[in-house]
A and B are shown apart, each in its own frame.
Chain A
Amino acid sequence: MITRDNYEEFFLLYVDNELSATDRQLVERFVADNPDLGEEWETLLQCRLEPGQFIFPGKEELIKEEEDPWTEKLFEPDLSIVFPDKESLYRKEKHRRVILYPWWRVAAAAIVLIAAGGYFFLPGKKDTRAVTPATTATLYPTENTEKKKPEEKLEEKENKPVPVMIKKKTDPALARTVAKERTPEIRIIEPTVLPQPITRPEERSIAAANPGEIARPLITPEEEISKENSSFATQALLNNATTANDDNNYGAEPASQKKNKLRGLFRRASRVFEKTADRDDDGQRKVLIGTFQFALK
């Protein structure tokens, strides 16, 4: 309800266009009913500003276009720009130094020691190194040489001579003794007397079964000397020759290899005795063996 006490607020709300259509009509009716308030009413209506014609001068500058990153032209690379000190940039990778853990070092050292010990102390290795050329020339395969290929081993055997170790004694005492007796003629067997080369393992095994037929000192039956007729030194010499022959034929066998050392020792000792042993030819009832002289009963 508009009265003369609250009409000013209604007038202001009417100017601000904050009244409903009904209230606007109430205000217009109130003004019509109160003509003395008409001048004030007209003055308030003049206080409304009329929006003049204003044009923003820089409107074109405000227009925007979204940039499409996929169609946007990228910068052209300037290939004329070159880094001047390129040599200083080159690098060489340092070699990596392998640092083992302590237990790895110990393990590596143990492996080396075991390998070295196995190489030097294993019996097979050691014997192989100790075999003389005459022994390696045997036709029969040894334990170590079996590791090689059969063809290679056979070729080696075929090419090398197999001497039979029978030495000629040049000792004057021995020569004198042999001259009196019918000493057996000992010859060195040449490799030409060897059988034909064995090319297959089967044949080789057969040959190994009869080693005495292949290499043996050739002493004819008429040359064989009975023990009664031979001197002590001669028999020792024959035994030695036989032993040497046997060594040459069977020296490569594992069982005889183990005895090589002792046998060599005995051989040296026997040589000493052979050189100096003498029979009692002068009737003095004395026998000289080595440096010892024994009286005969």
Chain B
Amino acid sequence: MTEKEYNDCVTLYADNVYRFILKNLRLEDDARDVVQTAFEKLWKNRQEVDAAKSKSYLFTIAYHQMIDHLRKVRRIQLREEFREEARVSDKPVHNLKKVLEEALSRLNETQRSLVLLKDYEGYSYAEIGQITGLNESQVKVYLHRARIQLKNYLVRLENLI
């Protein structure tokens, strides 16, 4: 990967990686740090990275960086926020987008990442498996479970309404 290809990678994929990380961490500063670290690693290893695979390489670095960050910085306060949001979500929400975000936050990290990588980035099961370190069957199963969970959340919310 050349300097130009790296900078093109920044232009094309920085927003995508940031969106993926921000949807997982829900904290902008933490998401920003993870993205910067991911691009630093890409720059250091640019000689070994093929430009055609730079996007998946970048997402792979960002995903594992995010997992490490969550394991290190996981706080009780964050869990309390989830609970508060869960209580808030009980209120009638007419905006489908916000309802889906709330439903997404209820998924575990792996399911959420799989849904984001599938819906936001359009990766295939095989590509998601390479990024997350899972095999294709696991990705398919975990992703289907996440979809059904989201559907059930929406159905339950509609019933409340």
Contact = CB atoms under 8 A, between A and B. Distances in A.
Interface string A138-149: 000000000000
Contact of A47 (B3, B19, B150): B150
Given A49-B115, A49-B120, A66-B3, A58 B43 contact: no
Contact of A51 (B3, B35, B103, B119): B119
A125 B36 CA distance: 101
Contact of A12 (B10, B14, B119, B147): B147
A62 B119 contact: no
Nearest to B153: A47
A72 interface: no
Contacts of B39: 62
B134 interface: no
Contacts of B28: 57
Contacts of B140: 18
B122 interface: yes
A63 B7 CA distance: 6
Contacts of A55: 15, 18
Interface string B5-26: 0110011001111110010000
A43 B154 CA distance: 7
A49 B14 contact: no
B10 A63 contact: yes
A101 interface: no
Contacts of A40: 151
Given A49-B115, A49-B116, A54-B18, A44 B147 contact: yes
Contact of B19 (A17, A43, A48, A52): A52
A189 to B, nearest CB: 113
A16 B151 contact: no
Contacts of B125: 16, 18
B86 interface: no
Nearest to A9: B144
A65 interface: yes
B32 interface: yes
A61 interface: yes
A64 interface: yes
A50 B98 CA distance: 11
A46 interface: yes
Contacts of B32: 56-58
Interface of A: 9, 12, 15-18, 40, 43-44, 46-52, 54-59, 61-66
Top 8 A-B pairs ranked by shortest CB distance?
A54-B19, A56-B18, A49-B119, A47-B150, A56-B14, A51-B120, A62-B10, A66-B3
